[in-house]
């Protein structure tokens, strides 16, 4: 997985309109997961607090060596940018990103109590969320998924804006914008078989406007 670096911003509004003016840059994400909508939307002017990067709600992006890394974190439900849902943290990695809907990538669901509980309740090994052990859009056996190189891949990720690089010390570039919708199939915990199956569906829908940091 690509290493993602995330930063923290002071939030002043719940309007999720994208504006490249540095005085009113907007960020947002909406993730449909587990039968709930998890959403933040906010804005900032020129405020940065790098010490808060691990706890801040954020929708952030960086582009490095041809890989676009996106981070969507909802951590603080008391923050002014919080709209709905439970604390979670998703990473999306897109190789050779292009405008359009044919992008290929990988989703990582980081360990948080809410997503861990969801995995356990649905019989999914919790570590398979973090290690991206899934196939997309149809159930299949492990051998076929491995031979066809389908484990841990997302297809048809849509990007409408690749964003633009910010000035040094600011975040005044344009946002990365896009979406993804699909059903990921994970293996059941404790499968005792010579041919494990990816057969537990997890529907996911993500829309985002992410501040580009690199």
Instruction: Quote the pTM value.
Output: 0.84
Note the pLDDT tens digit of each residue in 171-187.
677 899 999 999 999 99
For residue 25, which of 12, 40, 35, 8 has the smallest C-alpha distance? 12
Per-residue pLDDT, 25: 57
pLDDT in tens, 22-55: 445 588 999 999 999 999 998 764 334 545 555 6
Nearest in space to 165 (alpha carbons), one of 64, 80, 87: 64
Tens-digit pLDDT profile for residues 104-159: 999 999 999 999 999 999 999 899 999 999 999 999 999 999 999 999 999 989 99
* Residues whose CB falls within 8 Å of the CB of residue 136, separated by 6 or more in sequence, listed in order: 150, 153, 154, 155, 182, 183, 184, 185
CB neighbour class for 153 (10 Å; exposed up to 12, middle 13-18, buried from 19)? middle
> What does the alpha-carbon distance between residue 202 and residue 184 come to, in Å, rounded to a whole number?
5
């Amino acid at each position: 997985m690509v290493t993602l670096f995330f930063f923290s911003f002071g939030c002043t509004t719940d309007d999720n309109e994208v504006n490249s003016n540095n005085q009113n840059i907007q960020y947002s994400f909406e993730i449909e997961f587990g039968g709930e909508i998890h959403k933040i939307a906010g804005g900032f002017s020129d405020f940065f607090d790098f010490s808060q990067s691990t706890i801040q709600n954020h929708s952030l992006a960086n582009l490095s060596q041809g890989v676009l890394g996106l981070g969507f974190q909802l951590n603080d439900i008391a923050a002014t940018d919080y709209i709905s849902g439970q604390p979670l943290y998703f990473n999306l990695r897109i190789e050779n990103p292009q405008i359009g809907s044919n992008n290929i990538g990988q989703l990582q669901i980081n360990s948080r109590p809410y997503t861990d509980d969801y995995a356990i309740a649905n019989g999914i090994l919790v570590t398979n969320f973090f290690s991206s052990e899934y196939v997309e859009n149809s159930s299949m056996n492990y051998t076929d998924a491995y031979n066809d190189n389908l484990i841990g891949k997302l297809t048809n990720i849509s990007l409408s804006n690749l964003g633009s690089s910010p000035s040094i010390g600011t975040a005044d570039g344009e946002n990365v914008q896009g979406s993804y919708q699909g059903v990921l199939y994970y293996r059941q915990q404790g499968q005792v078989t010579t041919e494990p199956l990816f057969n537990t569906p997890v529907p996911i829908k993500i829309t985002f406007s992410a501040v580009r940091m690199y």
